[in-house]
Amino acid sequence: MKVLPYFHPFWQSIAFCTGVYNAFMGITRKGFTLTRHRNVGLVYYLMTCIGLAGGSVITEVLESKGMRIEMGIHLMIGITIVILFIIAGTLGFLMLADPAKIVKLRPIHKWINLASLVLFFFQGLYGYFCLATL
């Protein structure tokens, strides 16, 4: 049971690195292809959403075993990140559907995804400090 709390941070660290890679590719255009950017972005979104669900399950299991972890803020940040993903992903699909809107929507898409990465980083720090109390 002592190893269980560390599955979620390990998984989310990989998801975060995937998001940083995709942001780097999208901003610098190095190695950029639309297909690669879209696919890596979808993997990043999916991994993060799986991490949200997995973290919730792990917290419930730990609480049922008598280990209390206060993760309210961590969970709220995670839900906020998923909402930002929905908005940014929708903007991505709108840019694909109507290339004339790319000039207007790309900066919004970029800033929403960067904001989600910043929140992701601080969420990871908060989670680390929560785990340090175990």
Mean pLDDT by 10 residues, the chain (134 residues): 86 96 95 95 96 92 87 92 96 94 95 97 92 81
Total domains in the chain come to 1
pLDDT for the residue numbered 24: 97
Q: Which structural domain range is residue 84 located in?
A: 4-132
DSSP 8-state class, residue 101: G
Tens of pLDDT, residue by residue over 48-76, are 999 999 999 998 998 998 888 888 899 99
Structure token digits, residue 112: 């929403």
pLDDT for the residue numbered 1: 62
Share of the chain above pLDDT 70, in %: 99
Amino acid present at 51: G
Burial class (CB in 10 A: 0-12, 13-18, 19+), 70: exposed
Please state, in angstroms and as integers, the Cα–Cα distance from residue 57 to each residue in 5, 17, 23, 62, 122, following that order.
10, 23, 29, 9, 21
pLDDT for the residue numbered 68: 83
pLDDT for the residue numbered 9: 93
